[in-house]
C-alpha cells in the first residue's frame, strides 16, 4: 500500500508521478485532456462521420453524459440517460481519465442500482476516445454469466449510439468473444476465476473489477493490478459489501483513509434508498424484499443496505427466536385436506465409525467452531491404523430427527407469495441404524403424513437412505441434499428468510423432550460468514448437537420447493412401479 491510501500500483487521484496536483503534460496530451474531443475526428470505414462533444464538467440533469451524444448522417439511437448518483461517480472517473491522473475508485451500488450501466457508458466513451489498444480491461469473478452480461451491455450501448456497423467482437468465430473493438480501440473482458490465465495484458486507460467482493485479492494483486502499471491506468472497483476481508472492502477503506487526509472523494456509495429516490418502482420492490427476507438477513443487509455482515454471532437473536415461536398445537397425525412437508437429518451412525467421523467433518466443515486442534485430534482407536480418522470428543451420539410441517399457501393476490410453514411434529431416534429406521420412515412419510416433499440430508452415509426413500416415495417427492459449503449456505439463507418474514412457526410449548431439545439447539446455533458471500451455521460441539437445527433448515427447503412445483403445475405422485421397486430393494 502506498502512502496516500490508494492500493499499491496506483496513485491516489489528483497526484502526478511526482506527487504534484496534476498529471504530466505528455500524458495529458495522450489522455482525455480537458477540452479535447473524445474522438480523433477521423471518418470510420463506412464513411459516416462521428464526433464526440467536449468534456466540460458535470452533465446536465436532463440527459446522459455531455459528450455521449453521437452525430451521424443517419438518425442515431439514444444511449439511456444516467441517474444523478451514477453521474456523480462517473464524473469522478472521467475526470481522472481526462487528466491522466491514475489512481483508483471504489463504487458500491445497491443490487440492480445501475453499476453495469455506468461501467458500459464509460467504456463506450473510451472506445471513442481515439486511443489504440485495450483502452479498458474489465475482470469479474466468472466468465459466465458476469462478463457475458457486461459485454452484452456494452454492445447494446454501441448499438444505441448507432455505431454497431463500425464495431466488432474479437476474436470472431468463438463462443465467447473476449473483446469489443471499435476502430483501433478495444475493451477486453477477462475472467478472475482461480485458474484463468490472464497474465500479459495491458490496460491502456482503465482497469475495472466488477463484483470485486467476490474476486480473490491475491489473484487480483498478482495478475490484474500489474496490467495498470505501464500506462498508470485508472482502477475502478465495483460491487456490494460482504465482509472485511474482500478486495472491495480493502479498496474502500484505503480510499476513505485518503479522503480523510486530502478531502478528495474516491469512494462512492449508493444504498437502495438513494436508488429509490430516482426510481420509485425500485423502492417498492426492495420494500417487498425487506418484508420477505427481514431487515437483518445477510442478503438484504449487504446487497441493498450496503452494510458488512458481522461474524461470530448467534444465528438467531432473541427477537428472531420470538418470531419463530408459534401458537398452534402439536399434532400426532395429519388433518384432512392439508399439505405437509418434511425435513430429515440423519445421524452419523456409530460414533466410532470411521465413515461417520469423516461424514461429520464434511457436513460441519473443517473445524468451524474453533475447537482446539489437539482435542480435535484425539487418540487413535485401538486396532485402527495410525492414519484413521480420529474419534471426535462428544458427550453422546447424534440423533436422526424428522420434522413435519404444515404448508399454508398464500391467498391469491397476497402481498407475499411464500408459504407459511407450521411445524407440527418431531420424531427423534438415537442410536438406531439407518437400515432399521428406513421402514418406519417410509411408513411415516408416505402412508401416515403423505408428505408432498421431503428434503433429506444425503451427505456421506445418508446417500443410500435418500436413494431408497426416493424409490419408495417417488423421486419427485424426495430432495437429496448434500451438505456442500454452497448448499448449506443456501439452507441458512432460506431459514433466515422464513424466520424474519414471520412465515416459520414452531408449535406451542408442550414440555416434551423434543420441544426442549429443539429450543436448546436454536438458542445455541451460531453463524460464520465465508468468502464469496456464503455462510455456515452450526452448534459448537462443546454445546451439543445440531440435529433439530438441520432438520428445520431442510423442512424450509422442502416447503420452498413445493411452492415452486405447485406454481409450475407439478403435483408429485407415487406410482405403483415406484412402490414395487422399493419392495424389490428390500
pLDDT tens, position by position, 86-115: 999 999 999 999 999 999 999 999 999 999
Phi, psi of 547 (to 5 degrees): -65, -45
Give 485-544 as a DSSP string: HHHHHHHHHHHHHHHHTT-EEBPPP---HHHHHHHHHHHH-EEEEETTTEEEEE--GGG-
The mean of the pLDDT values for the chain is 79
Instruction: State whether residue 408 is helix, strand or coil.
Output: strand
pLDDT at 37 over 50: no
For 287-302, the pLDDT digits (tens) are 999 998 998 899 999 9
pLDDT at 120: 97
User: What are the grid coordinates assigned to 107, written together?
Assistant: 463504487
Q: What is the mean predicted confidence (pLDDT) over 21-44?
A: 35
Segment 250-266 shows an average pLDDT of: 96
pLDDT at 145 over 70: yes
Residue with grid cell 418406519, as numbered in its chain: 440
Which of the given ranges, 11-15, 539-543, 549-553, has the highest pLDDT on average? Answer: 549-553
**Can you give the pLDDT at residue 310?**
75
How many Å apart are CA 565 and CA 553, to the nearest integer?
19
The Cα–Cα gap between 57 and 95 comes to 8
Give me the pLDDT at residue 398, please: 84
The C-alpha cell at 313 is 454471532
Give the Cα separation of 2 and 257 in Å (integer).
12
Q: Largest Cα–Cα distance in the chain?
A: 88
The pLDDT value given to residue 287 = 95
CA 306 to chain centre: 13
pLDDT at 149 over 50: yes
pTM reported for the whole predicted model: 0.66
pLDDT at 414: 64
Q: What's the rounded mean pLDDT across residues 115-130?
A: 96
Specify the range with the lowest mean pLDDT, choosing from 43-57, 71-85, 149-163. 43-57
d(CA 356, CA 349): 6
The pLDDT tens digits for 260-274 are: 999 999 999 999 999
Contacts of residue 521, defined as CB under 8 A and 6 or more positions apart, other chains included, come to: 539, 544, 545, 546, 547, 548, 549
Cell of residue 532, nine digits: 464469496
What's the CA gap between 363 and 82, in Å, rounded? 47
List, in sequence order, the alpha helices (H) in 406-500.
Answer: 434-442, 462-473, 485-500
Compute the half-sphere exposure of residue 69: CA atoms within 13 Å on the CB side of its CA: 10
Instruction: Report whether 15 contacts 104 (CB < 8 A).
Output: no
DSSP string, 370-428: ---HHHHH--PPTTS-TTSPPPPP-SS--EEEEEEEEEEPPPTT-S--SPEEEEEEEEE
pLDDT at 366: 43
Structure confidence at residue 312 (pLDDT): 60
* 463 vs 563, higher pLDDT: 463
User: How far apart, in whole angstroms, are the C-alpha atoms of residue 340 and residue 332?
Assistant: 13
* C-alpha dihedral sign at 419, 326, 437, 445: negative
Instruction: Provide the 10 A C-beta neighbour count for residue 473.
Output: 23
pLDDT at 133: 93
Alpha carbon distance 188, 509 (integer Å): 61
List the grid coordinates of 198: 490472464
> Would you state the pLDDT for residue 96?
96
Residue 378 has what pLDDT?
Answer: 35
Using a pLDDT cut of 90, give the percent of the chain over it.
63
* Of 223-232, 241-250, 572-581, the least confident: 572-581
Q: Alpha-carbon distance 521 to 538, whole Å?
A: 9
Confidence (pLDDT) at 562: 77
Query: Quick one: what percent of the chain has pLDDT higher than 70?
Result: 73
The pLDDT of residue 392: 36
* Average pLDDT of span 528-554: 91
pLDDT at 70: 32
CB–CB of 1/12 below 8 Å? no
Q: What is the mean pLDDT of residues 187-202?
A: 94
For residue 520, give every residue at least 6 positions away whose Cβ sits within 8 Å of its Cβ, in sequence order, or none.
544
User: pLDDT value at position 277?
Assistant: 96
C-alpha to C-alpha distances, 514 to 321, 341, 389, 431, 507, nearest whole angstrom = 17, 18, 31, 16, 11
**Residue 238 — very low, low, confident or very high, per pLDDT cuts 50/70/90?**
very high
Per-residue confidence (pLDDT) for residue 66, from 0 to 100: 37
Burial class (CB in 10 A: 0-12, 13-18, 19+), 262: middle
For residues 71 and 326, what is the distance between their CA atoms, to the nearest angstrom? 65
Question: Quick check: 56 and 31 in contact, CB under 8 A?
Answer: no
Model pLDDT for residues 361-419, shown as the tens digit of each residue: 554 554 443 333 333 333 333 333 333 333 333 445 789 999 999 999 887 766 667 88
Please name which of 486, 301, 361, 508 lies closest in space to residue 424, comparing C-alpha atoms: 508
* 108 and 248 Cβ atoms separated by less than 8 Å: yes
Please check whether residue 104 is in contact with residue 7, taking contact to mean a CB–CB distance below 8 angstroms.
Answer: yes
Amino acid at each position: 500500500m502506498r502512502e496516500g491510501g490508494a492500493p499499491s500500483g496506483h496513485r491516489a487521484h489528483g497526484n502526478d508521478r511526482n506527487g504534484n496536483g496534476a498529471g504530466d503534460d505528455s500524458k495529458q496530451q495522450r489522455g482525455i485532456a480537458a477540452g479535447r474531443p473524445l474522438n480523433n475526428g477521423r471518418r470510420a470505414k463506412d464513411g459516416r462521420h462521428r464526433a464526440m462533444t467536449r468534456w466540460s464538467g458535470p452533465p446536465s440533469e436532463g440527459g446522459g453524459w455531455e459528450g455521449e451524444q453521437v452525430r451521424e448522417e443517419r438518425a442515431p439511437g439514444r444511449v439511456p440517460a444516467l441517474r444523478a448518483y451514477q453521474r456523480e461517480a462517473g464524473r469522478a472517473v472521467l475526470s481522472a481519465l481526462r487528466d491522466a491522473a491514475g489512481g483508483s475508485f471504489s463504487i458500491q451500488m445497491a443490487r440492480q442500482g445501475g453499476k453495469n450501466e455506468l461501467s458500459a457508458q464509460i467504456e463506450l466513451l473510451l472506445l471513442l476516445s481515439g486511443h489504440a489498444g485495450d483502452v479498458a480491461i474489465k475482470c469479474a469473478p466468472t466468465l459466465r454469466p458476469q462478463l457475458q452480461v457486461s459485454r452484452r451491455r456494452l454492445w447494446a450501448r454501441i448499438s444505441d449510439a448507432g455505431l454497431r456497423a463500425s464495431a466488432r467482437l474479437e476474436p470472431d468465430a468463438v463462443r465467447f468473444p473476449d473483446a469489443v473493438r471499435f476502430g483501433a480501440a478495444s475493451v477486453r473482458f477477462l475472467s478472475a476465476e482461480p485458474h484463468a490465465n490472464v497474465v500479459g495484458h495491458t490496460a491502456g486507460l482503465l482497469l475495472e473489477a466488477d463484483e470485486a467482493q467476490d474476486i480473490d485479492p491475491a489473484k487480483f494483486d498478482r495478475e490484474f493490478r500489474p496490467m495498470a502499471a505501464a500506462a498508470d491506468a485508472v482502477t475502478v472497483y465495483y460491487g456490494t459489501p460482504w465482509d472485511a476481508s474482500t478486495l472491495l472492502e480493502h479498496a474502500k477503506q484505503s480510499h476513505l483513509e485518503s479522503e480523510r487526509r486530502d478531502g478528495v472523494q474516491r469512494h462512492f456509495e449508493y444504498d437502495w434508498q438513494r436508488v429509490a429516490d430516482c426510481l420509485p418502482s425500485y423502492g417498492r420492490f426492495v420494500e417487498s424484499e425487506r418484508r420477505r427476507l427481514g431487515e437483518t438477513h445477510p442478503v438484504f443487509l449487504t446487497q441493498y443496505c450496503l452494510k458488512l455482515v458481522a461474524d461470530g454471532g448467534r444465528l438467531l437473536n432473541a427477537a428472531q427466536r420470538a418470531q419463530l415461536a408459534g401458537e398452534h398445537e402439536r399434532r400426532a397425525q395429519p388433518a384432512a385436506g392439508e399439505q405437509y412437508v418434511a425435513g430429515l437429518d440423519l445421524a452419523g451412525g456409530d460414533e466410532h465409525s470411521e465413515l461417520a467421523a469423516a461424514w461429520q467433518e464434511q457436513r460441519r466443515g473443517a473445524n468451524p467452531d474453533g475447537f482446539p486442534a489437539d482435542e480435535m485430534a484425539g487418540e487413535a482407536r485401538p486396532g485402527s491404523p495410525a492414519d484413521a480418522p480420529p474419534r471426535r470428543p462428544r458427550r453422546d451420539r447424534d440423533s436422526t430427527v424428522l420434522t413435519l410441517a404444515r404448508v399454508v399457501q398464500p391467498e391469491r393476490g397476497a402481498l407475499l407469495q411464500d408459504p407459511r410453514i407450521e411445524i407440527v411434529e418431531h420424531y427423534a431416534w438415537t442410536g438406531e441404524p439407518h437400515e432399521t429406521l428406513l421402514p418406519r420412515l417410509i411408513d411415516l412419510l408416505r402412508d401416515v403424513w403423505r408428505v408432498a416433499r421431503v428434503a433429506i440430508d444425503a451427505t456421506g452415509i445418508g446417500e443410500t437412505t435418500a436413494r431408497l426413500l426416493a424409490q419408495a416415495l417417488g423421486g419427485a417427492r424426495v430432495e437429496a441434499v448434500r451438505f456442500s459449503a454452497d448448499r448449506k449456505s443456501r439452507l441458512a439463507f432460506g431459514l433466515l428468510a422464513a424466520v424474519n418474514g414471520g412465515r416459520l412457526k414452531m408449535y406451542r410449548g408442550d414440555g416434551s423432550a423434543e420441544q426442549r431439545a429443539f429450543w436448546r439447539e436454536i438458542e445455541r446455533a451460531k453463524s460464520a460468514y465465508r468468502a464469496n458471500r456464503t455462510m455456515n451455521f452450526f452448534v459448537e460441539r462443546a454445546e451439543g448437537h445440531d440435529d433439530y437445527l438441520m432438520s428445520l433448515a431442510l423442512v424450509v427447503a422442502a416447503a420452498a420447493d413445493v411452492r415452486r412445483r405447485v406454481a409450475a403445475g407439478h403435483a408429485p405422485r407415487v406410482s405403483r412401479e415406484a412402490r414395487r421397486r422399493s419392495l424389490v430393494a428390500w
